Amino acid sequence: MPLVNSNVILADARRRRYGIPSLLAGDLQMIVGGVQAAETLRSPLILAFNSGATPGVPLPIGIALAADAAAKASVPVGVILDHGADIEQIVAAVCNGASSVMFDGSHLPFEENVRQTCEIVRIAHAAGVDVEAELGAIGGSSIYLTAEGPQAHMTDPEQAAEFVARTGVDVLAISFGNAHGVYHTKPKLDLARAREIAGRVEIPLAMHGASGLEDAVYAEVIAGGVSKICYYTAMGRQISAALRDFTAQADPDTLNYHQIIAVATDEFCRRAKDLITLLGGAGKAEDVKRMA
């Protein structure tokens, strides 16, 4: 089916209180495994390309590959540029087939974040592409796992409402105690803050740094009004361990790279199915199709 904008997928999730995984789409194994999982469980899905996580994959190739796979899927799949740094990246993602873009201006002063986000919304909307922005700073790093990352700054609910109203963004990434990468201590999520933000804005909310939590926490986050669950680090580490086990047990005289590709694809599919089930997205594809 045609590529689907993230906000269309997320609108149903927000209304019916289930979560949509946003899975890293850094290579073919990630993409094919994720789409196969979504098709098997009849679930919507968002594929996210992040240049920082996979710098060896050129953005035009990575986005185009994910967009082609999404367009051929039998369930609604969106493709988003994750944590776009500037207008040049945003334009490149739009030109190469992204159905959604995320501009991360969270490091900017509020007024400058508003100004740059407004310009990106103008450009993207003219091309039929929806926009996610970030307000408040999310700490940690999904790339450098031993680092604490930048200092987090929680999203102010009143400021969030103003930001959405002034910029016209379609999805808002918020900071409420979540962190990218590995949680070095037990996370203290401010779910009351998330609920207040959800009550002040009408657009879907996104949680970056969502992997590695206890299973029961995801239901609480979704009940608090968060619809997009960005998930990679825990999955990536699990699959890395599975690949280490596979190569350690394989016959070195017959082991070849295509076997590793097959195992990686199967592992991404299996882990993605577990996550889709956990977040409640299984069986929701047909409802989103009707809205798309």
Does residue 82 carry a catalytic annotation? yes
Q: Give the side-chain half-sphere CA count within 13 A for 291.
A: 19
CB 179 within 8 A of CB 145: no
- CA 13 to CA 45: how far, in whole Å? 11
CA distance 118 to 112: 10
Phi, psi for 161 (deg, rounded to 5): -60, -40
Q: Are 45 and 75 in contact (CB under 8 A)?
A: yes
12, 82, 104, 156: the catalytic one is 82
Tell which residue, 49, 106, 105, has the closest CA to residue 77.
Answer: 49
- Let me know: does 1 contact 7? Beta carbons within 8 Å: no
Which residue numbers are catalytic? Answer: 82
